[in-house]
Structures are given as structure tokens and as C-alpha cells.
Amino acid sequence: MNAQPDIGDIGRPASNHPLAGQAMTGADIVVQVIADEGLDVLFGYSGGAILPVYDALFRYNQTHTLDDGGERLPLIVPANEQGACFMAAGYARASGRVGVALVTSGPGATNAVTPVRDSMADSIPLVVICGQVPTGAIGTDAFQEAPIGTIMGACAKHVFLVTDASTLEATLRTAFHIARSGRPGPVVVDIPKDVQNAPLVFHGERELPVRGYRARLHAVESATPDDDACRVFFAALAAAERPLIYAGGGIVSAEAADALRDFSQAFGVPVVTTLMGIGGVDTTDPLALGMLGMHGTAYANYAMDDCDFVFALGARFDDRVVGVPDKFAPKARTIAQIDIDPAEIGKVKAAHWHHVGSLDVSLRALTAYGRDIGFAPDRRAWHAHVTALKAAHPMNFCRDGDLIQPCAVIEAINRITGGHAIITTGVGQHQMWAAQYFDFREPRRWLTSGSMGTMGFGLPAAIGAQFARRDLTVIDVDGDASIRMNIGELETVTTYGLPVKIVVLNNAGDGMVRQWQKLFFRGRFSASDKSLHKKDFVRAAQADGFEWARRLDDAAQLEATIADFLAFDGPAFLEVVIDPDAGVYPMVGPGASYAEMITGEWIPSRHVPVAHEAEPTGMF
């Protein structure tokens, strides 16, 4: 464990950058590095400690225009820094590129904490640049000072506090590298105001050594399963009769959807996905079984109960998927796992076979090996079993009655968009219904706060996604409680004339909380009821400039209203008054196994329903 000379300093004396050697302030360098990274939009809210960067950006955009006269680096201003960072995250999730937010010190930076943690938990590449009080004032309780290094250090993939101005350029470039490489994540760069104002020379290419990180990254990026590993893998797969792929968000992060489809089809292995893995496989594919877990499809969960080989791909056996680890995949004789993060291997369930490396490269290597050895087992019995599960336990809900069912709203939208729109959500029942009832044909069409479960994600994420994909319809499927959390961003939609479609499924409260209170707290609806709230969502949207803003409460008007809503050429807001008692089913209760899954009234269960323990639970 001897320290070695720097190996990561890839700075070269003669840079090819046309601006190399030019005198710039720190703030100019911030803007130039962002431009060099290929960003075409930034999100941020100004304030005292970030003013030099905002000024540099203004000057940059004065001299750098697009052919249509637009700014080269437009800055989108939200209502709140949380909005800015979720917009950057929505941009990153929809595009696969690094999203960037610029915020000021103190409250600006602390408002960014939630989206930074959210992005860490879902492995989303983000660079958040925070102003900080001048170096000499740090630690004096100065105006708008907060200990961002400490706060963000516990939340982000990494945080840099730039105290030496000469390292600013290399630090910024390294921040982008760390955000996008390996298991992606958010990187925070905290820049004191005096560093922004420092007279510096631009180098054009330089990064920090971060040699431990680079060495580990090099090791995982260059790792492919060798022939021995492939042989062992295929021997186990050959011995299995009922193999199942359990695909997580890593498939999307690694752009490995094609490799997954090839593997699945080449060897006839059906696929279940996590919430974050949705879109990693075409949900309309016969071998796709949809989402598994707490609110997964009954047939996905039954398939997991029945399978004898689990192939976990970029999935981390989260408690919302696994429930009780000892009872998860109880018949699996082999658990095989590929992840880019060594800490995920065997974290919850021991893996019999594993590989640490890029999912895309690894899956392709396995597929090639399997084809070379002519691996073609007869999976007809297993496929018939899976098909029968789908036929016997389909997703369903109450299809008659006067009240509008939320799932009917989603089905109606889905009939029009056909799985090609970008869907964002808040968190709660509407999020689960959207996950269950939309088709997703491709990755990066489903943007949701998976691990953190941050209410208020949907609207700003939709704004960011629309900037990333101006060619696609972006729909925020939200709840009445979730949208309140960042409702100030309604104005941002109209300010920038974005054709974002917002549909609020209004059940007058925190529906998921109510569902748990009904099941586990004997119907004591503590603080989850909003039926006495006076908010008029349509007028709120109109006040924020929505020309198309309507309320739908007549089931007979559902199809026509949704068609009109989606066809509107511009921002549109639709509030749908839904059945307040609609629940999310299936449901595997907290701390329960799949065998105890409740499928509800409308989805046939293959077990005799288990009598429900209506006791408060220690599980969360």
C-alpha cells in the first residue's frame, strides 16, 4: 500500500484548446469548461455568492449565439433551487448526459440537497456548482454561508471545495468525469466568490489525479467475463429450467438495453425490471413481465417465486423489491449478478456467480460466448408457464362505476402515446399506477424518483426532460399532493413556452399514505386527508399562464378530454378528479414475502388471500 506517483494527471503541456493560454477569471473558466462539456442548457437561480459566474455566463452568451440567434448556453431560471436541480436531473435522465445546475451559497445550496441526494440514490449524473462565501469568510457564519462540503459530502458522489484557484479548471473537468463515469452520480463543486473572481490562465485540458478513483474505474471498465467465467455461467444456466433476468436501473445508466434484449432473446430468458429498470426492456415484448416488487405485476412476482435462476443486472435487491431477503426467489438455485459497483455484489443476497464491470460490455461478451458454444436450451415449458401467469393474473382495476379510475386515465394516455412519450411522476400511488399501466418501448422515457421517493420530482423533471428532448411529448403524471411540493415551477413551464403536459390525478390527499393507514393503522388517516383544502388547481395553472387548463370529473368525457389535452400545441394542465379510494395493487406489504402478496379485488391471486395483519409495523 505504498503511495505511487500521480498517474491520473492527464494534463499536457501543449493543449489543443483554441483558448489555451488565455487570461480568464475563475468565473469565465467555469462557463468555458461547461461549454466544452457540450452542455446546451443550464438550470439555476442567482444570488450574491454566484454573481461572478452569472455575469460570465451573460457575457459568454452575448458573444456566442446559435444560428437562430439563440444563446449558446441558455440558463433556465426556476422558482426554487430544488426545481433547478431536478430540471438538471430530468435533463440527465432523459438524455444520458450530465445535467448542470448553478446555485448560490447558503440557502441556494441547501435547497439543492434533496435533488443531489435523489440523484445519488438513483445514480444520475449531475454537476451542481454552488457559490460559496469568500475563502477568508468561510467558517465565520457569514451571510448566506452553509457548510456545503460537509452537508453534500454525505449526500453526493463527491464534493469539491475549491480553495486554491489554480486548481479550479482541473477540478471542474474532473467533476464532470466523476459524475458520468463508473456508477454515475452527482458531484458538487463549491466555489468561493474570491476564487470566481481570481485572475487565472485557461489551460484547456487538465484534470485532477484522483488516482484511487481512476485506478478502480480502469479496473471495472476493462473487466469482461473471461472464458472460465463464461463457462461457469453457462453451465449454471444450462442446469436451470426456469431462468429469469432481474434488470435494474443499471441497464438504463449503462445504455445496455440492446445488449439485454439480445441476451434475453438469444437464450430465451424472460425479464422482470425494477422501478428504475423500466424501459430497459420493451414492456410489450412477450418475454417482458413488467415491474416486480412491492407494487409489481402479480405475474412478475410469481415468476420470481417460481424461477430457479436469477440473473441480476444493475439491480441492487432493494427492500421495495426483495421484501424479506431469505424468502426472495425461494427456488433459485443460482443467483448470478453483474454490477459496475463492487459494493452491490452480494449486499443483500449472496451471489453464486458475479462479475464487476460495464453491463453493456459484459452482456455482449456473455451473449457472444453463448452463441459460440451453440447454447440453445429448450425453454418452451418455462415460456408457456410465464405466458400462463400473464394470462391468469393480468393487471386490472374496477372498470365500471361513476368515479374516474386513475388507471383508466393512464390507459387512455397510453393508447395515444403508444409508449413513446417521456413520462415523469411525483411519488405515491400515481407513480405506481403509471409504472404499472404505461408501456415503455425504450429506455429514458420513464423518469421517476425511485430510491429517494421525492414528492415534487415530476414537474421540474418534466421541464428538464423537455429541454433534453424537444422532439418528444413529455407528460408529468402527478398527484395532487406531490405537485404542490414544487408547484411554483408551473410558471417555469409557461415562461419558457414548453409544451409539457401535466396531468394531476387528484384524490384529495396523500393516497399512498392513506392506503398504508387503511391497511396498517386501522384507518386512522393522520394528516393525509386534503378534502377540505380549497386549492383550485385549474385556476392556479391559469394564473401561471396555462392557456389550456381543465378539470375532468366526468368519466364519460375521459377519452375526448385526454385526446384534446395531448393534442394541444403548448403547455397544458389537466386535473382529473379520481376515485379517492382507488388503491395500488398488487401489494407486497412491508416486511412480507411475495407469497403474502395482496392482489386486490380485480387481479386474480393464485393463493388463498392471507388474512391481513392490521397491526402497526416496525417495517417502513
Of 146-154, 269-277, 321-329, 447-455, which part binds other proteins (CB under 8 A)?
146-154
Least Å from the CB of residue 122 to other proteins: 16
Least Å from the CB of residue 4 to other proteins: 4
In the complex with other proteins, the residue whose CB is nearer, 4 or 63, is 4
Answer yes or no: 143 catalytic. Answer: yes
In the block, which residue shows the cell 374496477? 398
Active-site residue, from 294, 304, 512, 597 = 512
Q: What is the DSSP string of 563-610?
A: HHHHH-SS-EEEEEEB-TT----SB--TT--GGG-B--SSS--SSPPP
Side-chain half-sphere exposure of 491, counting CA atoms within 13 A: 11
Least Å from the CB of residue 338 to other proteins: 16
On the question of a cis peptide bond just before residue 52, with omega within 30 degrees of 0, the verdict is: no
Phi-psi region of 268 (alpha: psi -120 to 50; beta: other; left: phi over 0): left
Active-site residue, from 81, 344, 411, 596 = 81
CA distances from 555 to 79, 98, 414 (A): 34, 42, 17
Of 12-20, 85-93, 340-348, 549-557, which part binds other proteins (CB under 8 A)?
340-348
DSSP H helices in 420-579: 429-437, 458-468, 480-485, 490-495, 511-520, 537-543, 558-567
Least Å from the CB of residue 103 to other proteins: 19
Q: For residue 93, give the nearest of 519, 613, 464 by alpha carbon.
A: 464
Give the CA-trace dihedral at 359, 365, 368, 374, to 10 degrees: -100
Which residues are within 8 A (CB) of 46 and not within 5 positions of it... i.e. 6 or more apart?
54, 77, 104
Least Å from the CB of residue 348 to other proteins: 10
Answer yes or no: 512 catalytic. Answer: yes
Least Å from the CB of residue 473 to other proteins: 37
Of 78-86, 145-153, 399-407, 586-594, which part binds other proteins (CB under 8 A)?
145-153
Least Å from the CB of residue 219 to other proteins: 6
Strand partners, 161: 190
Which of 158, 383, 518, 530 is in the footprint of other proteins by CB under 8 A?
A: 158
DSSP H helices in 26-80: 26-36, 51-63
Asked if 469 interacts with other proteins (CB under 8 A), we say: no
In the complex with other proteins, the residue whose CB is nearer, 154 or 201, is 154
Q: Mask of contacts with other proteins, 485-514, x by CB under 8 A?
A: ------------------------------
Which of 4, 16, 140, 531 is in the footprint of other proteins by CB under 8 A?
A: 4
Q: For residue 313, give the nearest of 276, 292, 338, 346 by alpha carbon.
A: 338
What 3-state class would DSSP assign to 192? strand
Q: Map the footprint of other proteins across residues 161-220, applying CB under 8 A.
A: 161, 163, 178, 183, 210-216, 218-219
Answer yes or no: 144 catalytic. Answer: yes
Asked if 136 interacts with other proteins (CB under 8 A), we say: no
Answer yes or no: 573 catalytic. Answer: no
In the complex with other proteins, the residue whose CB is nearer, 186 or 426, is 186
Which of 20, 154, 368, 373 is in the footprint of other proteins by CB under 8 A?
A: 154
Least Å from the CB of residue 590 to other proteins: 21
Which of 48, 74, 134, 342 is in the footprint of other proteins by CB under 8 A?
A: 342
In the complex with other proteins, the residue whose CB is nearer, 101 or 161, is 161
In the complex with other proteins, the residue whose CB is nearer, 125 or 296, is 125
In the complex with other proteins, the residue whose CB is nearer, 159 or 236, is 159
Which of 41, 89, 133, 159 is in the footprint of other proteins by CB under 8 A?
A: 159
Are 426 and 455 spatial neighbours (Cβ–Cβ below 8 Å)?
A: yes
Active-site residue, from 22, 71, 144, 452 = 144
Of 40-48, 77-85, 338-346, 453-461, which part binds other proteins (CB under 8 A)?
338-346
φ, ψ of residue 516 in degrees (nearest 5): -70, -40
Of 158-166, 291-299, 373-381, 576-584, which part binds other proteins (CB under 8 A)?
158-166
DSSP class of residue 14 equals S
Least Å from the CB of residue 188 to other proteins: 11
Angle at 290 (CA atoms; ends 288, 294), nearest 5 degrees: 150
Which of 157, 385, 430, 445 is in the footprint of other proteins by CB under 8 A?
A: 157
In the block, which residue shows the cell 476564487? 195
Active-site residue, from 87, 157, 193, 573 = 193
Helices H, strands E: what count in the chain? 24, 20
φ, ψ of residue 311 in degrees (nearest 5): -115, 100
Of 124-132, 154-162, 512-520, 560-568, which part binds other proteins (CB under 8 A)?
154-162
Active-site residue, from 62, 143, 265, 557 = 143
In the complex with other proteins, the residue whose CB is nearer, 151 or 269, is 151
Burial 4-26 (b: 16+ CB within 10 A, else e): eeeebeebeeeeeeeeeeeebbb
Phi-psi region of 310 (alpha: psi -120 to 50; beta: other; left: phi over 0): beta
Which of 343, 388, 560, 563 is in the footprint of other proteins by CB under 8 A?
A: 343
C-alpha to C-alpha distance for 572 and 490, rounded to whole angstroms: 10
Which residues are within 8 A (CB) of 223 and not within 5 positions of it... i.e. 6 or more apart?
355, 356, 357, 358, 362
Asked if 347 interacts with other proteins (CB under 8 A), we say: yes
- Structure-block grid coordinates of residue 183: 456508477
Question: Residue count at the site for other proteins (CB under 8 A)?
Answer: 31
Which of 21, 136, 139, 153 is in the footprint of other proteins by CB under 8 A?
A: 153
Q: Are strands 23-25 and 199-201 parallel, antiparallel or unpaired?
A: antiparallel
Least Å from the CB of residue 172 to other proteins: 15
Least Å from the CB of residue 343 to other proteins: 4
In the complex with other proteins, the residue whose CB is nearer, 171 or 528, is 171
Answer yes or no: 344 catalytic. Answer: no
Binding site for other proteins (CB under 8 A): 1-7, 149-150, 153-154, 157-159, 161, 163, 178, 183, 210-216, 218-219, 341-343, 347
Active site residues: 81, 143-144, 193, 512
